[in-house]
């Protein structure tokens, strides 16, 4: 079993709770209030700036030119790809860039991003990848599942969010990350693999907390 299969399996009970979380199902059936989505969007916008920095730490820690380009293109994919969807929603909701950037990061959001950044600062390329993976992969699965429900991707408000994560570009970027994680894990000691699995599980739990925080609009 490859490393990503192993950790995905270990995290499955945590991930199953995403798929039935009222925030996620509410995006899927269109019942989520715009007020809750707005809260999530603004917190996620701040989250993504730090998430991009974790990729940048991968670039910093790597000495392999091809790997450095991989991390660099992911920084770009977050700042100028995924965040474009956020900016499009901000426009629809009448939120300016300045307004979004002056929002205070919630406690759960800060705990999650500080954790990822600290793993990235103290570890090497495998740790950076393990810290990023649950984030990227769980949204790829959520996007795919939501898009499979009839009419969900065509919803006038939430459709754009669903198609962003279910779309070919996001899915391909995520698959490349999974492959990169498996390549980085190959040949590592059992103790280091166990520690990487723990990072993946911790981030999976933080993902669950992020959905709950958004549902409760907890600052």
Ligand X SMILES: Cc1ncc(CN)c(N)n1
The catalytic residue positions are 135, 207
Binding site for ligand X (CB under 6 A): 44, 47-48, 82, 135-136, 139, 207, 210
Longest dimension (CA), the chain: 51
Least Å from the CB of residue 122 to ligand X: 21
CB-nearer residue toward ligand X: 3 or 51: 51
**Is residue 51 a contact partner of residue 78, using CB atoms and an 8 Å limit?**
yes
DSSP 62: -
Least Å from the CB of residue 151 to ligand X: 23
CB-nearer residue toward ligand X: 3 or 161: 161
**Is residue 112 a contact partner of residue 47, using CB atoms and an 8 Å limit?**
yes
Query: What radius of gyration do the chain's Cα atoms show?
Result: 17
Least Å from the CB of residue 42 to ligand X: 12
CA dihedral 184, 189, 193, 195 (to 10 degrees): -120
CB-nearer residue toward ligand X: 198 or 209: 209
């Amino acid at each position: 079993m490859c490393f990503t299969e192993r950790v995905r399996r270990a995290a499955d009970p945590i991930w199953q709770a995403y798929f039935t979380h009222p925030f996620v199902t509410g995006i899927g059936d269109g019942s989520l209030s715009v007020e809750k989505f707005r809260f999530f969007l603004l917190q996620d916008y701040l989250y993504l700036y730090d998430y991009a920095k974790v990729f940048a730490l991968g670039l910093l820690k790597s000495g392999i030119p091809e790997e450095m380009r991989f991390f660099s293109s992911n920084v770009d994919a977050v700042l100028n790809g995924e965040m474009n969807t956020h900016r499009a929603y901000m426009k629809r909701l009448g939120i300016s860039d300045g307004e979004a950037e002056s929002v205070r990061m919630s406690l759960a959001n800060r705990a999650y991003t500080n954790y990822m950044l600290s793993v990235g600062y103290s570890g090497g390329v495998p740790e950076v990848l393990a810290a990023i993976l649950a984030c990227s992969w769980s949204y790829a699965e959520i996007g795919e599942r939501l898009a499979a429900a009839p009419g969900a991707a065509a919803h006038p408000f939430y459709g754009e969010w669903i198609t962003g994560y279910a779309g070919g570009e996001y899915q391909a970027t995520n698959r490349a990350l999974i492959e990169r994680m498996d390549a980085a894990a190959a040949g590592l000691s059992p103790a280091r693999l166990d520690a990487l699995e723990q990072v993946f599980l911790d981030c999976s739990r933080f993902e669950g907390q992020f959905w709950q925080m958004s549902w409760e609009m907890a600052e």
